[in-house]
Structure 1
Amino acid sequence: MKDTLLGPDAMEWLGVRYRTILSAKDTGGAISVTDSVSPSGSGPTRHIHHDANEIFVMLTGDSEFWLEGDRFTRGPGQTVFVPRGKEHTFRIVSDVPARHLVILTPGGFENFFSEMANGKFRIPEDMPKIEAIAARYKLTFTGPPLGLDDLETDQ
């Protein structure tokens, strides 16, 4: 993706571009906001944020979310609230990249994205290192990402 999409200070990890627009440092730890652009078909493995609520504000594209077994799709102008301690994931299902804001309360998780981008960690090759770093951010991985084979279809 082009640097102009999020600006020159954006970072990239596994094809996803991130730019912190409000850090925990800026808010006394209360909140962080990250602008994210994810390519079609991308999405993280299932995971749990043990200490943070997470809010997604969809700006472009469509994402299928999985939250504790429930599946639903959200697009531009829609939001998703994931309470702390709830297993979740998402996958971009539109043909175009999805841009969304990731808001976490309390803040601090934005530094995980930075560590992953700076370390150029790969999945699955670097999972032991990724999991060790994730533990510092009170994040655990619980299962695979959503894939094409597990999409529900209307056929």
Structure 2
Amino acid sequence: MDVATSEKPTGVVWMGTRYEILLRAATTNGAMGMFQSEDQPGFGPPMHVHHDAEETFYILSGAVDFARGDERLTVRAGGAVHIPRGTPHTFRVRDEGSARMLTILTPGGFEGFFAEVAAAGFEMPRDLAAMQPISEKYRLEIVGPPLSAT
């Protein structure tokens, strides 16, 4: 039996968040990509859609507010949320402290996005237009602003 392992996790720092890439699409025959991140209070991406991937977040520590379509929910350590492909979503780390998350995208491949935008020195929202070619490559579409504090 083949076992996918993360013998050498690689780290990428982008916008103050370190992404530890645990499994790549190349390791899992394209089935998934998995990474761990530690995000600071108030951090969250703009509302976006993954057109080719499902995304699942498992909260290792802290608390995170999510928007999934029109739904709003708070997920704390030990909880998980699944985002079906094509669903507008975003998250925001609650102000009470940082959050560590394990994120799985199926199929894999999106994990390469972070290395590309970090290498280019892009930041959001400043460089959204310049990031467009990379976003298109990974079938990522920005569809709205970040989630506001509740």
TM-score normalised to the size of structure 1?
Answer: 0.88
Deviation at 1:124, TM superposition (A): 2.8
Alignment RMSD (CA, Å): 1.5
Name 1:145's counterpart in structure 2.
146
Name 1:109's counterpart in structure 2.
110
* Contiguous gaps of at least 5 residues in structure 2: 1-7
Tell whether the 8 Å contact from 2:9 to 2:20 is kept in structure 1 after alignment: no
Name 2:79's counterpart in structure 1.
78
In the aligned structure 1, how far is the partner of 2:125 from the partner of 2:140? 17
Deviation at 1:123, TM superposition (A): 2.2
**When you count strand as a share of all residues, which structure comes out higher?**
2
Name 1:22's counterpart in structure 2.
23
TM-score normalised to the size of structure 2?
Answer: 0.90
Tell whether the 8 Å contact from 1:61 to 1:94 is kept in structure 2 after alignment: no
* Cα deviations by residue, 1:48-103 (Å, 9 ceiling, x for unpaired): 00010000010001000001111000011100000000000000004221100110
SS state at 2:60 partner: strand
Name 1:121's counterpart in structure 2.
122
In the aligned structure 2, how far is the partner of 1:97 from the partner of 1:18? 14
* Cα deviations by residue, 1:86-129 (Å, 9 ceiling, x for unpaired): 00000000422110011000000000011112112022332112
* Contiguous gaps of at least 5 residues in structure 1: 1-6
**When you count helix as a share of all residues, which structure comes out higher?**
1
In the aligned structure 1, how far is the partner of 2:28 from the partner of 2:105? 12
How many residues are aligned here? Answer: 143
Tell whether the 8 Å contact from 2:47 to 2:145 is kept in structure 1 after alignment: yes
- Alpha carbons of 1:118 and 1:57: their partners in 2 closer, same or farther (altered >3 Å)? same
* Cα deviations by residue, 1:26-60 (Å, 9 ceiling, x for unpaired): 01111010111100000000000001000001000
In the aligned structure 2, how far is the partner of 1:140 from the partner of 1:46? 9
Name 1:4's counterpart in structure 2.
none
Name 2:4's counterpart in structure 1.
none
Percent identity over the alignment? 42
